[in-house]
Structure formats: C-alpha cells, structure tokens
A and B are shown apart, each in its own frame.
Chain A
Amino acid sequence: MNDNERDLIVSLLDGALSPTAQAEVRARLEIDVEMKAAYDEQLAVSTTLRSSPAVSMSAADRDELHGELRAGLFLDEATVAAGVATPARRWSRWWAPLTGLATAAVIVTAVVVLPGTFGDEDAADLVGAPAPQTSATSSLPSLEADPQGITEDSDGQQPVEELTSSTAAAAATIEPDVMQYSLARATGPSDELELPVLAEDFAAAGVESAAFNSTTKATIDYGTAAGCFGSADEVTGEAVLVGTLSASGDNVVVIITDASTGAETVIIVDLATCRVTSVGP
C-alpha cells in the first residue's frame, strides 16, 4: 500500500473528501483487500479514541492554576489598572530565572544582524530553510576548525550596527508568533543541563555528539550569558539554552525551530567573547 492510499484512508475517515472522492475510495475498498483491512484497522482505533470521555480539571486544580497564573502575570488590581500590554517584563517567582531566555532571544536578533557571521543568504535560510536533511558538520565547523571558536573582525567589534536592508527584512519576517523554539527550560539561575537532548538534535542532522564533546553535562551561567548581551528588555521569542559544548561553559548552543517550516537552526555563542561563532542548520 502506498502513501497515496494511506492518505486517502485517513482523509476518508476525517471526512475531508468530496462526495465523489468518497465514492471512489469506497469502491476501491470493495476490491482492494489490503486497503480495506488497513481502513478497518484505522477505523477501529479511531473510533476507540474518539469515544473516550472528555477530561476535566478539578475545581481545586483550576483554582490553583488560576492563582498561579495571576501571580505569575502580576494580575493584581493595580497592575491590571495600569494595563498589561507588556507582560513579558513581569517575571514571577520561578519565572525570574528565565530572564536567560530573553538573553537567548536577543541572540536570535543578534545573529540576524551579524552580516560578518551570517550573510544575507543565510538570513533567508533562517526564515524558510527546510528541515536539515544532511550532516551539519560542515555548517558547524568553527568549533572544530578553530579551537577558540572565534571569528574576529578586523576591528574586533561586533558589527551589530551594520544592519543591511536585506538582513533587516529578514529580521522583520521572524515574528515571535511564527517561531517556536526548542526548549529545555531552566529551573535556576545557574542550571545544569544535560547534553543528550543536544545529542539527539544533532543526531537528527546526522552529527554525532561525540564529534563536538563527550561531556554529558555542563553548567550554564545565565548571569554570564546575560553579560554578553546586556539587559534584554524585550523578549522577541522563546529560545532556550539547551546545552553547552564544553564543561567549562564556554559556549552556549541555541537550537531554534521555525514552527512554520520545521527548519532548525543551531546558533553557537562563545561566552568569553560574546560572539556568535557558528550558525547553521
């Protein structure tokens, strides 16, 4: 049975086919034993799942949830009276450590406007490139080729101000509503994160994690990361530092998934120099 036949079965069960198409598929089911068996199986599982009762929260759970959210969003009367148009700046108790996320989000912006590191073509790729299908080794060479992981400009300055019209356009297309980032949420200001997640992500791109580092755990100092990028006063997206490539915490890796395309971009930042040292799928 081919993909088209599978699609037809799923579409038929979903009611997504026109009456004419439905009749055609049903006629095929009459003569194709394999397709009919698959249809019956799909129907049985779907029917079982669809017949499951609705799930509901208990009143106590609901009250607790609302209370936590109100606290987390600072939805007291005074705050509400002042408006809640900028809730991103209001960090709740456990949310406060996640200011590191804001920093990571700034990394995203910085990457887009670093023409020396990330050219116009790459900027476009960040927005619409397909999901990586090949090894990312070649696109993440700097840490292997250059132990320092640093690409110095002639003046040694970060060319953030050199915003070209094309990169500006690319930046404008990256909307936080469109992009969802792969997250590994931190629970403290300095959190020990493990590399298996990172390894999985790289493995999906055909890269062995051991090619980067055999360390299984590393510590991220969000304070250090924040020092690289100043105070992040606006969250442009939700990015998370998913791990580091060295035990000393020299590098931060951010893996970003574009929700609309599924494209993943890996950004490596050297915390010692506050430089983006590598960007690639």
Chain B
Amino acid sequence: MTGRSSQDRELIRRYLAGDADAFEALMAAHEGRVFSICLRMLRNRDSALDATQDVFLTVFRKVDRYKEQAAFSTWLYRVTVNTCYDHLRREKRKRTDAMPDHLDPPDPRSEDAIGAVELRPDIERALQTIAPEFRAAAILVDIEGLSLQGAADILGVPIGTVKSRVFRARRQLAIELGNLAPPPRHPKEEP
C-alpha cells in the first residue's frame, strides 16, 4: 500500500465521520489531476470544470461504499474518465442538433482552454481527432505518466487492451501531426 493510498483511506474514514477538513484534503490531493484529465479529454475549460464537479459529487456521494479493495485514486480516475465520456457524448448530441461545426462561432473560452493546456495547438487538435477511448489511454499514460497497468485499472480493461489503445493513439497522432514519418510498409502489405 502506498503512502498516498493510506492517506486517502484515512481521509475517507475521517470524511465519513464528519470531518470537513478531510474533504478539503482529499480535494487538494486529487483535484489537479482530475481537472487535468478532464481538460485534456474535453479541451474546454468550462466543460472540464463541470466534469470535475460531477466527478467529485459522484465520488463523495458514494464514498461510503468505497471498499478499499483498490486504491481510491484508481476508483476516482475511473469515474473521471467515464464522466468525460458522458460529457463527450452529450456534446456530440448537441452538435448533431446545432449548426454544422464550420458555422459555429468561435468559443473564446476554448481559446482560454488551449492556452491553459499549454500543449502545442496542433497536438491539441490532433488529440481531438482520435477516439475517446484511445485519447483516454494516451492521456493517462503519456501525459499523466501512469503505468500501463495503472491505466488498465482505471479504464477497467485488460493491460493488453491499453497497450493496443496507446499504440494506436500514438500512431494516429503521428499521422495527424504529419511531421513524423510513418513506419515503412511491410513487403507483405504491398498491394
């Protein structure tokens, strides 16, 4: 058990006992990464803040059922990724009803978000072109620095699936960015 995990479990016990300071301590320990994942996934600061709020409301509402069989952070980040999926779905449905993307007025808050993210804009755009499942894997492993196993635990999929998603995400990012040469075609793949 890591020090962080032990601290989280103690904080949860204190929170459930009515210690409001424990709420603040849990937030301080995790809100940064939760917000970071949300912002990378959603690319919009308002959406990321909304998602972050949803995540913590969900988690604190159910924290009394946290079984301590897995690290609190694993559960928290799993809720985070799933919440982002929900937000992406809703945004997609909104876009379906709204005017075509190319006619949408620019959202100044999105520009703020891009600045806040501080990734290269081309990388940001490329990230948004890949499927959310692949994007989540790349964000967790390459941006948040989690291990493959850690990402697998959070995403609730086998580690082999994470490896595949990470590989394909990087592959697609390389293609989208266009400044990285693709691997040469295998002779057997030649038409």
Most chain A CB within 10 A, of B142, B182, B186, is at: B142
From residue B50, how far is it (CB to closest CB) to chain A in Å?
A: 10
- Contact assessment for B27 and A34 in the assembled complex, using a CB-CB cutoff below 8 Å: no
In the assembled complex, B184 has its CB within 8 A of some CB on chain A:
yes
Interface of chain B, main secondary structure: helix
Q: Which A residues are in CB contact (< 8 Å) with B58?
A: 238
Q: Which B residues are in CB contact (< 8 Å) with A42?
A: 167, 170-171
- Contact assessment for B32 and A41 in the assembled complex, using a CB-CB cutoff below 8 Å: no
Contact pattern, B 148-191, Cβ under 8 Å of A = 1, otherwise 0: 11000000110010011011001101100100111111100000
In the assembled complex, A155 has its CB within 8 A of some CB on chain B:
no
Q: Which A residues are in CB contact (< 8 Å) with B52?
A: 65
Interface contacts (Cβ under 8 Å), in number, total 187
Stretch at the interface among A81-89, A138-146, A219-227: A81-89
CA distance A95 to B53 in the complex (A): 11
- Contact assessment for B118 and A69 in the assembled complex, using a CB-CB cutoff below 8 Å: no
Most chain A CB within 10 A, of B17, B66, B117, B174, is at: B174
From residue A61, how far is it (CB to closest CB) to chain B in Å?
A: 6
Q: Which A residues are in CB contact (< 8 Å) with B92?
A: 196
Query: Contacts A48-B123, A52-B118, A194-B93; is A34 near B183 (CB within 8 Å)?
Result: yes
Chain A 34-86 interface residues, beta-carbon cutoff 8 Å to B: 34-35, 37-38, 41-42, 44-46, 48-50, 52-57, 61-62, 64-66, 68-70, 72-73, 75, 77, 80-86
Q: Which residue of A lies closest to B87 (CB)?
A: A185
Q: Which B residues are in CB contact (< 8 Å) with A197?
A: 89, 93
- Contact assessment for A73 and B57 in the assembled complex, using a CB-CB cutoff below 8 Å: yes
- Chain A: residues with Cβ within 8 Å of the partner, total of 69
Contact pattern, A 231-274, Cβ under 8 Å of B = 1, otherwise 0: 00001001000000000000000000001111000000000000
- Contact assessment for A3 and B164 in the assembled complex, using a CB-CB cutoff below 8 Å: yes
Chain B 25-76 interface residues, beta-carbon cutoff 8 Å to A: 27, 31-32, 35-36, 39-40, 45, 49, 52-54, 56-58, 60-67, 69-70, 75
From residue B9, how far is it (CB to closest CB) to chain A in Å?
A: 14
Q: Which residue of B lies closest to A185 (CB)?
A: B86
In the assembled complex, A10 has its CB within 8 A of some CB on chain B:
yes
CA distance A34 to B187 in the complex (A): 10
Q: Which A residues are in CB contact (< 8 Å) with B142?
A: 45-46, 49-50
Q: Which A residues are in CB contact (< 8 Å) with B174?
A: 41, 44-45
In the assembled complex, B20 has its CB within 8 A of some CB on chain A:
yes
Q: Which A residues are in CB contact (< 8 Å) with B183?
A: 1, 34-35, 37-38, 41
In the assembled complex, B131 has its CB within 8 A of some CB on chain A:
no
Chain A 1-35 interface residues, beta-carbon cutoff 8 Å to B: 1, 3, 6-7, 9-11, 14, 16, 33-35
CA distance A259 to B157 in the complex (A): 8
- Contact assessment for B156 and A44 in the assembled complex, using a CB-CB cutoff below 8 Å: no
- Contact assessment for B31 and A57 in the assembled complex, using a CB-CB cutoff below 8 Å: yes
In the assembled complex, A158 has its CB within 8 A of some CB on chain B:
no
Q: Which A residues are in CB contact (< 8 Å) with B60?
A: 69, 73, 84, 87
Specify which of A16, A49, A83 is in contact with B138 (CB 8 Å cutoff). A49
CA distance A29 to B183 in the complex (A): 13
- Contact assessment for A56 and B53 in the assembled complex, using a CB-CB cutoff below 8 Å: no
CA distance A210 to B181 in the complex (A): 43
- Contact assessment for A72 and B118 in the assembled complex, using a CB-CB cutoff below 8 Å: no
CA distance A10 to B166 in the complex (A): 7
- Contact assessment for B96 and A41 in the assembled complex, using a CB-CB cutoff below 8 Å: no
Q: B residues touching A (Cβ–Cβ < 8 Å)?
A: 15-20, 23-24, 27, 31-32, 35-36, 39-40, 45, 49, 52-54, 56-58, 60-67, 69-70, 75, 78-79, 82-83, 86, 89-90, 92-93, 96-97, 116-120, 123, 138, 141-143, 145, 147-149, 156-157, 160, 163-164, 166-167, 170-171, 173-174, 177, 180-186
- Residue contacts A-B, CB under 8 angstroms, 20 given: A34-B183, A44-B174, A46-B142, A49-B123, A49-B173, A52-B123, A55-B39, A55-B40, A55-B116, A56-B32, A65-B52, A69-B56, A87-B64, A88-B61, A177-B70, A180-B79, A182-B86, A184-B89, A235-B61, A235-B62
Q: A55-B40, A183-B83 are in contact. List 4 more A-B contacts (CB 8 A).
A: A1-B186, A14-B148, A65-B52, A84-B60
